[in-house]
Structure 1
Amino acid sequence: MGVNPAGSTRDMTSRILATLFAPALLASLALSAPAAATTGAAPEPVVALQQAHAHNDYEHQRPLLDALDHGFTSVEADVWLVDGELLVAHDLADVQPGRTLESLYLEPLAKIVADNGGTVHPGFDGTFQLLIDVKSAARPTYDAIHAALAAHEEIITRFQHGARKQRAVDAVISGNRDLAFMSSQKKRFAGYDGRLGDLGSGLSSDVMPLVSDNWTRHFTWQGVGPMPAAERAELEAIVAQAHAAGYRVRFWATPDAALPNREAVWQALRNAGVDHINTDDLAGLQAFLSS
């Protein structure tokens, strides 16, 4: 059989090209295979963090959702009653149509709870706190909040005739609030956020489940150097008294810049058993509580 010079040339060229480009092709396949596998893999489950509270949560790019993705079990929304709508913003000048308590929090929570079989965080045996900080007049704003919560009673804990019906979400009212009216309601969908001065009030934890206060009004320590022994003892006494009455504890105005003193304060709060650690830095607190 004769030899075809053209065929031999083509074969040789093919072998040369294969030799030159095969390593690159294999490398490309090696790099793309894990990416494909990763794309099809289930995402890592989020670990719910009992003490993580998102202060001014609505200021994040995705209100509620960013906090949930970081394992937070408590979020805070400031509300203004404007023309019958509960608009979410820190200042009245910043309210925007459509950014309502319903659209940013209640509707998404209802869907999440339904999708997760009755809980906000799958596998988490605690409740999720929605802290609603009332910025406008107490009574009319609360009436609107009560109606909004009642429309989602399948997910909101309620209190009726002295009994508590636990649901996935505990709503708590902070800011401008009317304790006398809330205490008198026969059917209620939210608790009252007290202050440290209320610790000896004898209020039921069904009425006042949470006690919050400004850190700087009670403590001088900002995380630099050791915590003064007297202040540490005071913090522990506050938590012990609150827990004995069934109240949870939260402080705002703690250091929140990403500096070592912030973590020193967080550690002191964690050690003392403070129930909700306040932050605007979702990733920072998640990393701290996960360590």
Structure 2
Amino acid sequence: MDFPTGGIFGLLRILFKPIIDYFERLLFYRAYLISTLHHSYREAFDTCPEKLTDGIEYRIFWEPYYLRKRLVTPMIWLRSTNGAKFHKIVLTATASNRKIKYQDTITVHGLDDTPIQLALTSIPFRELKFDGNIVYTPYDRITTEILELHGPDECRINIMYPIKKCLQPFDNLEVDMGLRKGYVEKWGEIFNLELIEVEVTEERIRLMGSTFGKLRPIDRLKAKLFSPNWVVKSISWSKNVIFAKQLTSEFVKYRKELEESNKWQQKTRNSDAA
């Protein structure tokens, strides 16, 4: 939760920083951790790799953070599928727009079903810049192309046609514009606060109720009372200080839904195999 940082509040925060940090950690650490676990699960299980070619799938990470780690550069993630193995792969990753291209040439050895992660040192993070209503991006797409492919017997596989995939990065504009929080560094750790932000929005909806149609006096009163962000955030945080009960409940619910989805997918695969 945010506290005032300007004027006398800023001075008091500097003077009493160790005490304030202690109580902030006591009150909010579990909520930060649960929100981060929720995001990590989504990163690991909800985001599926893309097929690069038969037997190979990949992902590209263009943001500065991944699974509670700060990346030094963007990263490409590769692994083989369906039991395939490759002795050597040479590929390029090219991030581009109409004005510039950033390119890395990568050589991968011994690719199997264990993922390999490699740094894309020539490609910058996709950090947006804003000038009024104009958004500036360092690149609009990332194209990955296989140049050489060698099987497990070290023999080169003839590539009869270009093997390339184009990925268009997507952005969380509200986070990039500072309207909502994503990754933050606090107490010497890295957290993702997207679930907390979602719960604040859900709390606002619960408090305001439906506003469709003609507003009744009670609806206008609710709008006046619950329009200030600090009011809604205070109510939301009152349910999550220390033990993060509401956030924990949402995370447990998400885990159950994920388990049910995995069971259904496994059942579908078994039926197809039969």
Normalised TM-score (structure 1): 0.22
Structure having the higher strand fraction is: 2
Q: RCO (CA 8 Å, sep 6+): is it higher in 1 or 2?
A: 2
* Structure with greater Cα Rg: 1
Normalised TM-score (structure 2): 0.23
